[in-house]
Each structure stands twice: as C-alpha cells, then as structure tokens.
C-alpha cells in the first residue's frame, strides 16, 4: 500500500505543482508584456537623468530626486508613500581638479584626475612629490616606510581581464581605491592616485568612495584615467625621479538631512511579511547616474506601476525603496534596517537592483539552504526571459543591513560587460541605457517580487 | 555479477568523464584567457570598419576585404588559405534616395528612406501615388486588386515588443520587406514602402534584401525610418488622400567575380572530418558592417589566431570561412556547400556567428537527437562564461546549404537587445562594438570549435 500510495501521490503532487507553475508562467508573461508594451521606466529615467541629473548625497539634485520619486509613487497609486529621515554626509567636489606628471627629462604632461569621494583637499597650489608605483595595497607593507615616506603612492593594479564577470575584477582592484589612502598614509605617503576602476582604456577618471582610518593622517586621494595611468607608468619607468602634482578643492561639509523614499503595497494575506525592492537614489556627481543607479530606481518604480496597472494584490507587503546615500555612507540603508527592527517588521526577502540596466542574466540568492532551494525551484519560470544564472550569492549594499535579521538577499544580475566602462564617470548618462534592456531588468525584478509575495521563502 | 559490474562501472565511467571534463575545462579557460588578454579581433574589426568600411557584394570594399582577410589568415599561419571563386550579384544604391508625404491639407513632409537591396529604381523624377497601409503581407489578399491597384503599399507592421529575443520579432515582420514588393505587385501596386525592421524609434532607415518573383512586375521598394513610418501613419489617418512620393536611382549591374576566403587547419586524426566556422565578409553599404557581420568575421579570425598561438592541433580539420554575399544572394554559401560535396568532404558540424558581437548567451544547435544530446552534454563547460542557453535551433544562413548533407548546424546566440537598433543602417559602425563582448563571443566559438574538433558529433 505504501508503495502504491507513493506511486500515486507523486504524479499527483507533480501535476499540482505543474498547474501552479503554469498559472504562474501565465502571470509572469502578463507582467513582462505589460512592461515591454507600456513600460514607463525609460521615461522616468529620462527625467531623473536629464531634468535632475547627478544626485550626490546632500546635493539639491538628491533632494529633487526625493521629491520626484515621492510624488511619482503617490501618483502611481502606492497604498502609502513615506519618507525615512536620516542624516547624510555632505561631501562636495569643489571646482578644482588638475594634475600633471613632471618629468626630469621630457617636460610636463597634463592628465585627467578626479577626487575620490570623502577625500580631503590638497593645500592650495597642490601637492608635488615623487611617486612610488604599486599594484596592490598589500605591496605597501613590503615596501615599508623607507620607500613610501613623503611620496605619492600610485596604485596601478589593473582590472583582471580574465574575470568573465566584471564585478569580479572590480572586487579585486577596488581595495586600492577604498582602503589605499589610509594604508599609504600609515607608511608616510602624502597623497595617493589610483588607476580608474575599469576594463576600458580611455581618458575619463572614475570616482568612488574611499574610507579614512581616523587614527591616521588624512591624505588627499584621486583617481586617474586609465590613459593617464598608462602614461604615468611609462614615464616612471623611464624616469624614476618624475614627480606627480595634483590640486583638488573638495571638502566635507556638515551632515545634511535627507530621506529614503518608500512606497508600500499592503499584503492581503500576510501583511507583516515584508518584501523589499530597491535601488539607490543618490549617485556620483560627474555624470547623470543613469546606469548607477537611476536604472535600479526606475525599475523599482516600474514594478510598482505594473502591479497597480494589472491590479495585482500581493499576499505579502511590498516596499518599493529609493535608498539614499549608497555611494558614500549607506546611511539610508542603515536607517531602513533600523526602522524595520524598531517596528518589528518581518522582512522575509529583499531584492536589490544596482548593477546597471543591462540585459538581465540572473539573480544572486543568499539565504538558508532551504530558502535558496525554494527560490531556485522557480528558475524554469525565468528561462523564457533569458534569465538563467542563479549560481551567484550577491545581494547588494543597500539590503545588506537587513541580512542580520535573516532576510533572504536577492540581487538582480544584468550583463556586466559595459558597466565599468562608464561607472562613476561623466559618461554615465541617459544615452548609455537601452530601453528594452532596462525594461527586461524591471520585468525580472517584477517576476521575482511576484513569486516572493505569493509564496514567501519558507 | 551483472549488478556488481554495473555498480562498479558506473562510477568509473563517471570518474573518467569527470577527468575528461576537468581537462577540457582547463583548456577552455586557457583559450578564453588567451582571447581576453591577447585578443586581436577588436583591432581586426577596427581595420575592417574604419579602413575598408561597408562591403556590399561586388563593391571595391568587398574585394579589399577578401584581400585583407586572405593575407591576415596567411600571416596568422593557417596551414593553407584559399579562395573559392563565385559569381555574385552587383546591386548599387546610386546617389538618389528621397521621399516625402504629400498631404492634401497640411503640405509636404520629407522622410528618410533607403532602397531595399535588389530594388529597381523609380523613373527619373520619382513615383507619386496614393497609399494603402497594411500591417502584414497577408492583408493584401483580403484587400484585393480593387483597393491596391495603382497605389503604393505601405507595410507598417511593427516589431512585436513582447518577443523577448528580438530575432523573433524580426522573423515575424521581415516578410513585409522580403516578399512584400512582389506580393503587392500581384495586386497592381506601383511601389512599396516598408517600416524599418527595428525595435527602436529613430530616423535611420534600415535596408535589407527583398526578392522579386520573376513573373510579376518589378516595383521599386524602399524602407522608411520608424519615425517616418509613424508620421506617414498619422498623416494617412487624418488625410486618407495623402500621397507618397519617392525617388531612387539604385540599379543591378552584371554579376561580378568574387570569393569566399577559407583558412584551414588540417586535423591530426580525422582530416576528412570537417568543422566549419564562419561569418560573412560582405555587408550593407550604408554603415561599416561592424556588427553585421564584421563581428562574426573577426571572431572567426580570432579563433584561428588563438589555436595557432596556443599550439592547439585539432583532431579534425577546421575551416575558417569568410562567406561572400550573405546579404543579397548567399552565393558564397552555395558555392562552399557545392565544393564540399564535389570534394567529398565530410562536414560534420558548422558554427556560424552572424548575430552581432554582443555578450554571448548560448548556442542554437540543430542536428540528430543523439548529436544534440552529445553537444548539450558539454553545456556545463560553458556556464562559467555566461553561456547558458542551448534551447534554440538556429544555425545560420551561410551554413544552411551544408545541412542537406547532414552537417550539424550551430549558431552563436549573443544578447539580441541592441542588434536591431542599428542593423542594416548607417549606424552599424565600429563604435557600437564593445571589445570584451566581442572577445567573449570569439571565446564561445573557439571553445565550441575545440570540443567539436576533439570529440566529433557522433
């Protein structure tokens, strides 16, 4: 009997699950078609990029983006829209960013640099010093104070081109930018210049955050374009006494009041089970922050719009979150997690989209084995949309503070090849975004959000 | 015994296959790293695009491309390089391509058009006629001669945006361009204008081949930009008596002598088992033919370069083929298959790369079930390179004539979202190609070619 029971029940269970998957696959197709046919995210991004522009934390543009997305979510018809106040750093670039290589043999060469986020300014008139070139932070220890004292450290470790997914190369190279300045100061360096974080050989410096260690001297630090880095490398090889000169007028002002913006659709069956979808509203200042992370913001808005347009009533509560200050502080992310805890909200899962609005390739999933298994069980539903890769574990910076409370982390993974060509530069502008790629990413997030809201994670 | 034997042999077989896969995975990594670190395909494409340019069949540029790739394959060190002579059509665009909408109520509107490949010219001074708008070739039959006679047929069927892979939308819309002119002539149309084959709303007309039916009148036919198509549609809705005027000076000259260019590496163990890798050397004339199909050509060359650089000696013979005349005749493809048959070559498999140099997503595979199964057994080896999708059956136009002899057809499938934005337009230029995406596509083809050469298809 037992055997018979098993033989009978297995196909029945299977048939049941097949029927559910069929119903789901019809709904996911409906969601995707709505976005591909009537999507608004591309026009939202046009506004955010061309009418508001770069949205550095603490800037008037960041404030304008708060108002724009607040009003947009109200007009789309979220059940409620609210702001979460948080104090944010207010670093400004200032007007001056110049640099040159001073050789002892062949004159001077201007190169393109930009200050790293949080850097102090140079003294007026700039800094001029001899240069020591390294390929990683680790090399500093071996060189020691004797070799570094009084010099500018030139971090010239390039992207590892053999990393197929470019985020892998970024992860390896980025300590030079983030930790490099204080590590160099530890050995007496007077400043640092870091090769831009990119696969591309071009003349745009890539900014990005760095972090000073409070107990160490704060030395000014900049990024140099890859063409500039190649030139500096070449000149130093020919002329080890060549000096580097740079001047920057960036500064850190007192903290400013700012906000996360949150739209909510209340769950019909499990209102205290929360699903977060979000990207970050702030961006660097040089470009328009269109791929980083305007794309994630407008994809999040598109999911809200689509759910409302199709009359989808999720079983669990969904938060559509415009996080503030991802780039240089993550204060918004910390505030969001803090308030979730304070309000005793049960955040079961969070989806972050902050890797560009390129063709979606997959999702990183990070949770307990059973939860991962459940989510991977939905994989077949995503294949018709070219979303195949569920192997990675990446979530995202803004949802990370939720993880301590056991929230399942999910990160949208778009194609990564073009991302670092423009990341954190003046070239991150609206024209770099393809409408359909952006929409397909939004569809990916919408489908995942739908399944999470219907079925939970346990 | 039998049971024991099975229990023992299965793990052993499995272990054996694991060891082979490990060895293969190391080799595929070596191949990919060679291309990502030392690849030349991007600089080959720079030459093909910027020094030679658009390479319409029969043009001096097409002849220059034959010489360039012949000499390049010799210098890379193919065992032999040879040309396969074939007579090709010689259609030229001429200098004149103008069009306007003539309303009865609000004046004239200039719109951007281009002649379709193979179209006859209009009479000097152009054609002016009333317009009948349709969304598909099928509609013509329902409208009949009475509605169509003496008019210009405007095929305005748009791309189906819900097709996730854009080639699906192309496949549905393209009969309007290819078969539309003769179908319209059947009912007495005096000319046709077709909405450009693209997802994008812009002002670049997209050319492409059409085919006249010999027994029907040859009417001039052009493509109109999507912005022009929208305008024409709007004007016709307001003013059904609006006329369309267009003038074109294209013509078909006598056939020209041209060539496929073939590089060969002789197989060490099965020299009479052939694997073809190829793209097409000709392109349309308006742009530089960089994505279509300069990308496929330079990826094919990159595979040859990589095999030589790494000293890979394939067990089976590989042909690296620059096919001539894919765009408006496929004479090169027909000649290649004809000569393969004549020389009694056993062509076991062919890989075509003619869908752009974007991030590779998968391969279409078309062959006997056992052959497909064998190739799909290699799928795991491709996953680390983001190549996941082996569900499709697309091969390619240039390898299709081989299929009759039982050759397994394999088509590289890159991400398709941006392809039709620039396909067959003045915008298909070198700057639209991303170096790493191009290289990753070349790596995909190289890996597949390696496995086919090592293990065959049976």
ipTM value of the model?
Answer: 0.94
Contact B357, B438 (CB under 8 A): yes
Strands (E) located in A237-280: 243-248, 251-265, 270-280
Are B437 and A417 an interchain contact pair (Cβ–Cβ within 8 Å)?
yes
Q: Is A29-90+254-455 in CATH node 3.90.1150.10?
A: no
- pLDDT tens digits, residue range B393-429? 888 999 999 999 999 999 999 999 999 999 999 999 9
- List CB contacts (< 8 A) between A384 and chain B: 164
Alpha helices in B205-357 (DSSP H): 226-238, 295-309, 331-342
Taking residues A251-271, report their average pLDDT.
Answer: 98
Residue A27 burial by Cβ neighbours in a 10 Å radius (0-12, 13-18, 19+): middle
Q: Which two tokens stand for residue A290?
A: 């269109």
CATH 3.50.30.30 fits B94-249, yes or no: yes
A418 and chain B in contact, CB less than 8 A: yes
Q: Report residue B7's pLDDT band, with 50, 70 and 90 as the boundaries.
A: very low
Q: What is the pLDDT of residue B2?
A: 35
pLDDT digits (tens, 9 = 90+) for A319-378: 999 999 999 999 999 999 999 999 999 999 999 999 999 999 999 999 999 999 999 999
Q: Is B25 touching A (CB cutoff 8 A)?
A: no
Mutate to test the interface with B, among A388, A414, A419, A438 (most CBs of B within 10 A): A388
**Any B CB within 8 A of A166 CB:** yes
Q: Which residues of B205-215 are buried (b: 16+ CB within 10 A; e: fewer)?
A: bbbbbbebeee
- Are A109 and A224 within 8 A, CB to CB? no
Task: Give the burial class of A123: count Cβ atoms within 10 A of its Cβ; 0-12 exposed, 13-18 middle, 19 or more buried.
Answer: exposed
Question: Does position A110 have pLDDT exceeding 60, yes or no?
Answer: yes
Smallest Cβ–Cβ distance between A37 and the set B33, B161, B166 belongs to B161
**Token representation of residue B419:** 């392809």
* Distance, CA of B189 to CA of B218 (rounded, Å): 10
At residue B3, the pLDDT reads 36
Q: What pLDDT shows up at residue A1? A: 34
Q: What is the mean pLDDT of residues A217-237?
A: 98
Show residues of chain B in contact with A199, CB under 8 Å: 435-436
CB contact under 8 A, B417 and A361: no
| B35 alpha-carbon distance from chain centroid | 23
User: Residue B46: its chain A contacts at CB < 8 A?
Assistant: none
Q: Given this model, what pLDDT does residue A15 score? A: 53
Confirm or reject contact between B359 and chain A (CB < 8 A). Answer: yes
Is A65 within 8 Å of A52 (Cβ atoms)? yes
**CATH superfamily of this structure's domain B27-91+254-455:** Zn peptidases (3.40.630.10)
Distance from CA of B98 to the nearest CA of A (A): 29
- pLDDT beyond 60 at A6: no
Give the three-class secondary structure for B245: strand
Q: Does B34 touch chain A (CB under 8 A)?
A: no
Q: What pLDDT score does B393 carry?
A: 82
Residue of B nearest to A362 (CA): B386
Nearest CA in chain A to B440: A164
At B15 the pLDDT is: 54
- Max CA pair span of chain B: 93
Are the beta carbons of A385 and B32 separated by less than 8 Å? no
Give the tens place of pLDDT for each residue, B239-272.
999 999 999 999 999 999 999 999 999 999 999 9
Across A96-116, average pLDDT: 97
C-alpha angle A447/A386/B452, rounded to 5°?
Answer: 155
- The boundaries of every CATH 3.50.30.30 domain in chain A are 94-249
Which stretches of A248-367 are DSSP H helices? Answer: 295-309, 331-342
Parts of chain A belonging to CATH 3.40.630.10: 29-90+254-455
Q: What pLDDT score was predicted for residue A18?
A: 72
**Minimal Cβ distance to B417: which of A162, A421, A436:** A436
Mutate to test the interface with B, among A26, A32, A162 (most CBs of B within 10 A): A162
Mapped onto helix, strand or coil, the DSSP state of residue A142 is helix
Taking residues A5-10, report their average pLDDT: 39
């Amino acid at each position: 009997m037992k055997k018979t029971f098993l033989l009978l029940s297995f196909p029945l269970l299977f048939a049941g699950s097949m029927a559910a998957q069929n119903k789901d696959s019809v709904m996911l197709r409906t969601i995707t078609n709505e976005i591909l046919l009537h999507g608004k995210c591309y026009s939202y991004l046009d506004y955010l990029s061309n009418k508001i522009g770069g949205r550095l934390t603490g800037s008037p543009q960041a404030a304008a983006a708060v108002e724009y997305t607040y009003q947009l979510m109200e007009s789309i018809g979220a059940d409620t829209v609210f702001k979460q106040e948080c104090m944010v750093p207010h670093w400004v670039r200032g007007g001056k960013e110049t640099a040159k290589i001073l050789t002892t043999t062949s004159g001077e060469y201007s190169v393109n640099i930009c200050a790293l986020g949080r850097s102090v300014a140079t003294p007026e008139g700039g800094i001029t010093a001899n240069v020591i070139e390294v390929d990683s932070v680790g090399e500093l220890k071996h060189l020691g104070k004797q070799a570094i004292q009084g010099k500018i450290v030139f971090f010239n470790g390039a992207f590892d081109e053999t990393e197929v997914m470019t985020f892998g190369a970024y992860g390896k190279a980025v300590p030079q930018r983030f930790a490099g300045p204080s590590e160099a100061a530890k050995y007496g360096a007077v400043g640092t210049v870091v090769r831009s974080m990119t696969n591309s050989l071009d003349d745009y410096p890539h900014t990005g955050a760095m972090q000073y260690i409070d107990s160490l001297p704060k030395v000014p630090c900049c990024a140099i374009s890859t063409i500039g880095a190649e030139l500096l490398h070449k000149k130093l090889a020919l002329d080890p006494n060549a000096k580097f000169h740079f001047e920057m007028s960036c500064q850190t002002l007192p903290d400013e009041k700012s906000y996360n913006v949150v739209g909510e659709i209340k769950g019909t069956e499990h209102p205290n089970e929360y699903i977060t979808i979000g990207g970050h509203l702030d961006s660097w200042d040089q470009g328009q922050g269109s791929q980083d992370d305007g794309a994630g913001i407008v994809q999040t808005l598109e999911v809200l719009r689509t759910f409302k347009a199709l009359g989808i009533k999720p079983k669990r509560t969904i938060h559509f979150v415009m996080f503030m200050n991802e780039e240089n502080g993550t204060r918004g992310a910390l505030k969001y997690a803090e308030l979730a805890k304070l309000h005793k909200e049960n955040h079961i899962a969070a989806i972050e989209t902050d890797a560009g609005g390129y063709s979606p390739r997959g999702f990183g999933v990070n949770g307990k084995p059973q939860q991962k298994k459940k989510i991977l069980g939905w994989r077949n539903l995503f294949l018709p949309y070219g979303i195949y890769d569920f192997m990675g574990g990446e979530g995202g910076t803004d949802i990370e503070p939720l993880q301590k409370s056991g929230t399942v982390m999910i990160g949208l993974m778009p194609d990564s090849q073009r991302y670092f060509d423009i990341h954190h530069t003046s070239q991150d502008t609206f024209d770099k975004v393809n409408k359909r790629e952006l929409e397909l990413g939004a569809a990916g997030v919408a489908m995942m959000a739908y399944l999470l809201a219907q079925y939970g994670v346990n």
